[in-house]
Amino acid sequence: MGLTARPSDNLARTDTASGSGESWVATRLDLLVNWGRAGSLWPMPFGTACCAIEFMATAASRFDLARFGMERMSFSPRQADVLICAGRVPFKLAPVLRRIWQQMPQPKWCISMGACASSGGMFDNYAVVQGIDTIIPVDVYVPGCPPRPEGLLYGILMLQEKVKRERMSDASLRNEMDPDPESGLYIPPQAIDELSEPFGNSVHQTRSGL
Amino acid sequence: MSASFSVVIPGSAAPDAPAPATPRHLPNRGGAVNPSADALRARFQGGILRVEVIWGETSVYVERLRLGEIVQWLHDDPSERYDYLSDVTAVEYRDPEQPIEVVWHLRSLPYRRFLRLKVELARDGKTPLEVPTVWSIYKGADWLERECYDMFGIRFVGHPDLRRILMWEQYREGFPLRKDFPLRGRFSRAEQLRQALAANPEARYSMEELTVAQAFEDLPEAMRKRLKGGERTGE
């Protein structure tokens, strides 16, 4: 899903000099809604390994996730906007992660934090999922092992940028992805095998063009 | 449980136990043998195959089918009192001729002794990968033996609930720590993911299984009364 061009910033107009004594703002609804969504993303932390420690450091006072409207960790997926998957996901957790993603209401986004969540990392073995994008759709991949808090914050800013570029007229953004009822997968098996080959997932994840 | 459980206070030991000391200058092979090994030899002549001392730790190779009585005796005998099973695991060597070893680490808190028991399972195609369980002696062996079964495929005869513990229960690729197991598993990634997603853990671990309702009757009388009255703890 490519990013559309960002609307120009002077879409909001204010007028206090019309003489009526009342001030007013005119803007596009898109801009207002996206501004509200991007500034109040509630993360659902799915921390399984050392990346979760770095995620906690990001949330703590020095790096202060609250600056981006994320101070409210949502430990229930039903009140969450962003799934932040921090750490490796073994196959045994795959149905759990899938279920948590399905429980989150739209609109929802996903950040894959760290090498293990994005590609399996160094754990190219029988037990670890080779990238959570084989289970759920991912919006932003944050590289690093683990990423520094600055890295995660940069990923969050990229996600906010993506949210700000969404158009309400594009209903397909909010479509829930239905897995294939036969296999339970939502991308074809060949694509999963290709993503999961050695170095596969880290090669195929390209930058989103920001 | 055959013997009554006797409490050992940490730091205290049997009167004739040696003083605690950090071992120094241990030889690779040989050295002081754990006195339990000689006692075992005197009691179970044929059941004890050989004794090795490596880095000051004594390993006793025992007969597969007599393991149960040997561990029971080590646990019960007042001069041994091996009251702590610290690990159950297995070793497979790269050389396919070498037998698979199942290893028990026993510790005697009162006498400050450590003993390693080993059973060799020959890979001649005739010896089954089976050893007796020690669950009836040490309740803590439950999950240790399940893990050993999960990773190596060794069956512990008499274990009450020998299921996989780390991999999910429908896992069909084999036993991951065996030498013939490929690191990435046997199936393709897509097939592994399909099977993992189809495992449906909620169907296997139902709320009925997780509920405390069945355990309620086992609670002490006072606690049951408090819980029935709606009192909460920690407030």
| Residue B233 confidence class, pLDDT cut points 50, 70, 90 | very low
More confident call, A195 vs B228: A195
CB under 8 Å to A49, separation ≥6 — which residues?
Answer: A86, A87, A88, A114, A116
Nearest residue on chain A to B194, judged by CA atoms?
Answer: A183
Q: Which residues in chain B have their CB less than 8 angstroms from residue A189's CB? A: 188, 190-191, 194
Burial of A99-129, coded b for 16+ CB within 10 Å and e otherwise, reads: ebbeebeeebbbbbbbbbbbbbbebbebbbb
- Per-residue pLDDT, averaged over B102-127, amounts to 91
Q: In a 3-state reduction of DSSP, which class is residue B60?
A: strand
- Residue B24: the pLDDT is 84
- Give the pLDDT mean for A102-108: 90
| Residue B10 confidence (pLDDT) | 61
For residues B118 and A44, give the distance between their C-alpha atoms in angstroms, rounded to a whole number: 47
Average pLDDT over residues A4-10: 61
Q: Which of A28-32, A37-41, A198-202, B169-173 has the lowest mean pLDDT?
A: A198-202
Copy the structure tokens of residue B132.
């007796």
pLDDT at B99: 94
Chain mean pLDDT for chain A: 84
**β-strand pairing of B130-132 with A24-26:** unpaired
Q: Which residues of chain A are within 8 Å of residue B184 when distances are taken between CB atoms? A: 124-126
User: Which domains does chain A possess?
Assistant: 29-168+184-204 (3.40.50.12280)
Look at residues A132, A124, A119 and name the one whose alpha carbon lies nearest to residue A205: A119
Question: Which residues of A make CB contacts under 8 Å with B?
Answer: 91-92, 94-96, 98-99, 124-127, 129-130, 134-135, 179, 183-185, 189-190, 192-193, 195-196
Stretch A124-141: mean pLDDT, rounded? 90
Q: In this predicted structure, what is the pLDDT of residue A13? A: 66
Whole-Å CA distances, B9 to B16, B45, B85: 16, 34, 17
Per-residue pLDDT at A140 exceeds 50:
yes
Its CATH class, for the domain covering B35-166, is alpha beta
Q: Share the mean pLDDT of chain B.
A: 85
Higher-pLDDT residue of B155 and B218 is B155
Q: Determine, for residues A196 and B189 on separate chains, whether the beta-carbon distance falls below 8 Å.
A: yes
Cα A96 to its chain centre, rounded Å, is 18
pLDDT above 70: residue B156: yes
The pLDDT of residue A29 is: 84
Check residue A165 and give its pLDDT.
87
Least confident range of A11-25, A113-127, B36-50: A11-25
Question: ipTM above 0.95?
Answer: no
State residue B47 phi and psi, 5-degree precision.
-75, -20
